[in-house]
């Protein structure tokens, strides 16, 4: 895994077990909470596993009854760099222990028009690493409620991540409540510990008591030996993807782009981190 050039102090923030409890119990601590039971997973059913053509999986979340938000790189074959066939993608809402609250195939998918797939993660890619998937049928289940979104998280905001991963592919887990360490050039650097399979996982804020999506996990990094997560701001991008679907857009390819570095923090004390995709 890549390492940071300079050190930065990471704060471990509280966690809780459910969407409402997470907002109400900010004094509890924990690194990772399984959502494998009905009680633990209540309120999180709109987070699901995306099975990608039988070759892997990512995490996605409903932002409408027929729309799933995830990372753009999830839709590309990392060996060939080509787009995965849309009909080979399935969304399993609230998947846990072999059963999902709803199963849907994907009818169409669009990636951010500025995204260019590359095996090497870059600043430019993380900024626009976002895709929107249209399901073949809406999910109109009273237990699967799409999440609202919030476009402008700030440095110091508390966030949380709900994701599947390579060692917990049968049930999602809630990452520890973590913080936005910095926002630079549309990229969020967060003290969240993500792992393989967490690509596309929704990042939530809990202001006002209800979870709202503020970003999508794109990549992971190390800062002074501590693991962090990288995501993009939703500002304007989600509306753009919705407009693409409204205008009949569908699958499209992407070219390669070069690697880069980003800096974490503001003012005179800056930390440069190199990063790695969370789904590899």
> Residues 65, 70, 76, 78: is their CA dihedral positive or negative?
negative
pLDDT score of 172? 62
- What residues contact 26, with CB distance under 8 A and at least 6 apart? 14, 16, 158, 177
pLDDT score of 225? 77
pLDDT tens, residue by residue, 21-59:
333 333 333 366 655 555 555 678 999 999 988 778 899
Query: How many structural domains is the chain composed of?
Result: 1
Residue 220 lies inside a defined structural domain of this protein: yes
Point out the residues of the chain with pLDDT beneath 50.
1-30, 252-276, 279-280
Residue 102 lies inside a defined structural domain of this protein: yes
pLDDT score of 63? 97
Residue 9 lies inside a defined structural domain of this protein: no
Q: CATH no. for residue 89?
A: 2.40.10.10
pLDDT score of 136? 95
Note down the domain range covering 236. Answer: 19-249+261-277
pLDDT score of 123? 84
Residue 133 lies inside a defined structural domain of this protein: yes
pLDDT score of 42? 67
Residue 4 lies inside a defined structural domain of this protein: no
Residue 167 lies inside a defined structural domain of this protein: yes
Residue 65 lies inside a defined structural domain of this protein: yes
pLDDT score of 145? 93
Selection from 74, 70, 261, 279 nearest residue 184 by Cα: 261
Residue 94 lies inside a defined structural domain of this protein: yes
Are 46 and 61 in contact by the 8 Å Cβ rule? The answer is: yes
Separation between Cα atoms, residue 261 and residue 146, nearest integer Å = 34
pLDDT score of 169? 62
pLDDT score of 275? 45
């Amino acid at each position: 895994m890549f390492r940071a050039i300079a050190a930065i102090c990471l704060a471990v923030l509280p966690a809780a077990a459910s969407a409402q409890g997470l907002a109400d119990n900010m004094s509890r601590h924990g690194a990772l909470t399984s959502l494998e039971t009905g009680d633990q997973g209540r309120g999180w059913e709109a987070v699901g596993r995306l099975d990608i053509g039988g070759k892997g999986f990512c995490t996605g979340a409903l932002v409408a009854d027929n729309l799933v938000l995830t990372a753009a790189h999830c839709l590309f074959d990392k060996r060939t760099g080509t787009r995965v066939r849309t009909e080979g993608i399935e969304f399993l809402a609230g998947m846990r222990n072999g059963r999902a609250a709803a199963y849907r195939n994907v009818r169409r998918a669009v990636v951010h028009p500025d995204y260019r797939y590359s095996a090497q993660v870059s600043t430019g890619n993380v900024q626009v690493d976002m895709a929107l998937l249209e399901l073949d049928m809406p999910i109109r289940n009273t237990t699967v409620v799409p999440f609202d979104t919030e476009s402008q998280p700030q440095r110091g905001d508390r966030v949380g991540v709900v994701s599947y991963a390579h060692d917990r592919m049968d049930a999602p887990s809630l990452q520890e409540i973590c913080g936005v360490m910095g926002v630079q050039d549309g990229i969020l650097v967060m003290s969240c510990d993500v792992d393989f399979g967490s690509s596309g996982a929704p990042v939530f804020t809990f202001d006002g008591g209800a979870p709202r999506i503020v970003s999508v996990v794109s990549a992971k990094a190390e800062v002074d030996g501590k693991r962090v997560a990288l995501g993009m701001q939703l500002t304007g991008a989600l509306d753009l993807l919705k407009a693409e679907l409204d205008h009949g857009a569908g699958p499209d390819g992407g070219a390669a782009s070069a690697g880069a570095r980003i800096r974490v923090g503001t003012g005179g004390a800056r930390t440069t981190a190199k990063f790695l995709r969370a789904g590899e």
